[in-house]
């Protein structure tokens, strides 16, 4: 007999792990996870990053090894960032076929072919001596249209090196259409363009700047979005879709879940999220201090992206989580075997 007749009891569906699993609205699958990786020219050993415990700048050898591990764990793909030894005003290493990023792409393309999805960051900031995502005009301002020519050249170099997906992260106006046209004209009609559609000028990229040896002085506020503006993300979405983006992205992740949810509602193409370096660092350092349970916090953050409507997630935990999910899936099977189920 219920104490209060007619009480509606949502708790009923929370009463056992099996029931909770059955009624969970979203779940994370290894193939939803994309691993961002850093490869640096001139290293002899992988170099750990102090701002991102557990993440390294790779040598070509260690990159390949870590990529094999990620692919074996079933991740959805790999997103490469390259750090050249030599940086200049126009980021000339970015579209040089012998530049570190393009060499790394070729290496992975040779190793994996179409067995995984190989992605490249298409932006100049890792390659420029001033650290901006584009080239500068005489006054030192980022020159949108001159940058587009550099991006188109990068797109071709990355496509030739074997990238399947190009991640256009520079936030220049017209970048998607410009790169799409260059790719098509050169016959790379199957190379996928992923637009960083809503990319905010964010403090949460802090540790990434160390990861790519960024030379940036100042900020990126003239091209990345103002954190106050949600509506503007929808304008960017309209443009990226009209320009032919195959996939759109919202970045950072957790601080922008509202933007993600709205983009996911409206988009007619897949929507991805980037759980950025600062989000990674917050959980790692808070867990190291004993303030939160590391694995549970990671899991909950990924679930939040799925719930908000993200199809895939770029996360530095991709391999670890994919491995854990594989083990869990195997565990459910063997628990049942142990009980004699079929
Ligand atoms: C730009 C780029 C950045 C990140 C990914 N691509 C940095 C920036 O815009 O300043 C940040 C990713 C992260 O913080 O994990 N090439």
Domains of the chain from N-terminus onward: 27-338 (3.20.20.70)
Within 10 Å of residue 185's Cβ, how many Cβ atoms? 11
Cis omega (within 30 of 0) on the bond before 50? Answer: no
- Residue 170 Cα to ligand 1 middle (Å): 9
pTM for the full model?
0.96
Tokens read off for 16: 């056992």
pLDDT tens across the length of the chain (342 residues): 667 888 999 999 999 999 999 999 999 999 999 999 999 999 999 999 999 999 999 999 999 999 999 999 999 999 999 999 999 999 999 999 999 999 999 999 999 999 999 999 999 999 999 999 999 999 999 999 999 999 999 999 999 999 999 999 999 999 999 999 999 999 999 999 999 999 999 999 999 988 998 989 899 999 999 999 999 999 999 999 999 999 999 999 999 999 999 999 999 999 999 999 999 999 999 999 999 999 999 999 999 999 999 999 999 999 999 999 999 989 876 766 666 554
What is the best residue among 83, 84, 276 to mutate for testing ligand 1's pocket, by most ligand atoms within 8 Å of CB?
Answer: 276
Tokens read off for 326: 């594989």
Whether the CB-CB separation of 177 and 238 falls below 8 Å is answered with no
Spatial neighbors of 148 by CB under 8 A, at least 6 apart, are 172, 174, 175, 178
Ligand 1 atom closest to Cα of 276? 15
Q: Which residue has the tokens 């030599």?
A: 86
What is the best residue among 121, 168, 169 to mutate for testing ligand 1's pocket, by most ligand atoms within 8 Å of CB?
Answer: 169
CA angle at residue 169 from 74 to 225, to 5 degrees?
125
**Cβ–ligand 1 contact at 276 (below 6 Å):** yes
Report CA dihedral (262, 246, 298, 257) to the nearest 10 degrees.
-10
Tokens read off for 149: 């020519």
- Residue 238 Cα to ligand 1 middle (Å): 22
Tokens read off for 232: 């503007």
List residues with catalytic annotation: 199, 251
């Amino acid at each position: 007999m219920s104490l209060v007749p007619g009480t509606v009891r949502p708790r009923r569906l929370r009463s056992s792990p099996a029931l909770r699993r059955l009624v969970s609205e979203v779940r994370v699958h290894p193939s939803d996870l994309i691993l961002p990786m850093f490869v640096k020219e001139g290293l002899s050993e992988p170099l750990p990053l102090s701002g991102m415990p557990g993440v390294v700048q790779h040598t070509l050898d260690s990159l390949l090894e870590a990529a094999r591990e990620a692919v074996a764990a079933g991740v959805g793909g790999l997103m490469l960032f390259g750090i050249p030894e030599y940086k200049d005003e126009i980021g000339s290493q970015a579209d040089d076929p012998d530049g570190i990023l393009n060499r790394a792409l070729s290496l992975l393309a040779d190793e994996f072919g179409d067995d995984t999805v190989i992605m490249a960051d298409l932006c100049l900031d890792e390659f420029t001596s001033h650290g901006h995502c584009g080239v500068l005009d005489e006054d030192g301002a980022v020159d949108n249209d001159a940058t587009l020519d550099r991006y188109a050249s990068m797109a071709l170099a990355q496509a030739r090196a074997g990238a399947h997906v190009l991640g256009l992260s520079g936030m220049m106006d017209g970048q998607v259409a410009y790169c799409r046209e260059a790719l098509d004209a050169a016959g790379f009609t199957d190379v996928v363009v992923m637009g960083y559609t809503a990319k905010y000028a964010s403090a949460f990229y802090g540790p990434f700047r160390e990861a790519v040896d960024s030379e940036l002085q100042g900020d990126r506020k003239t091209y990345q979005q103002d954190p106050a503006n949600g509506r503007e993300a929808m304008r960017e979405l309209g443009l990226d879709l009209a320009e032919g983006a195959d996939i759109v992205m919202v970045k950072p992740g957790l601080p922008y879940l509202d933007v993600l949810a709205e983009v996911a509602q409206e988009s007619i193409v897949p929507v991805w999220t980037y759980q950025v370096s600062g989000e990674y660092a917050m959980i790692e350092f808070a867990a190291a201090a004993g303030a939160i349970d590391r694995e549970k916090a990671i899991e909950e953050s990924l679930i939040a992206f799925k719930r908000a409507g993200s199809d895939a997630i770029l996360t530095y935990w991709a391999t670890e989580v994919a491995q854990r999910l594989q083990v869990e899936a195997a565990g459910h099977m063997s628990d049942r075997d142990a009980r004699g189920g079929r």
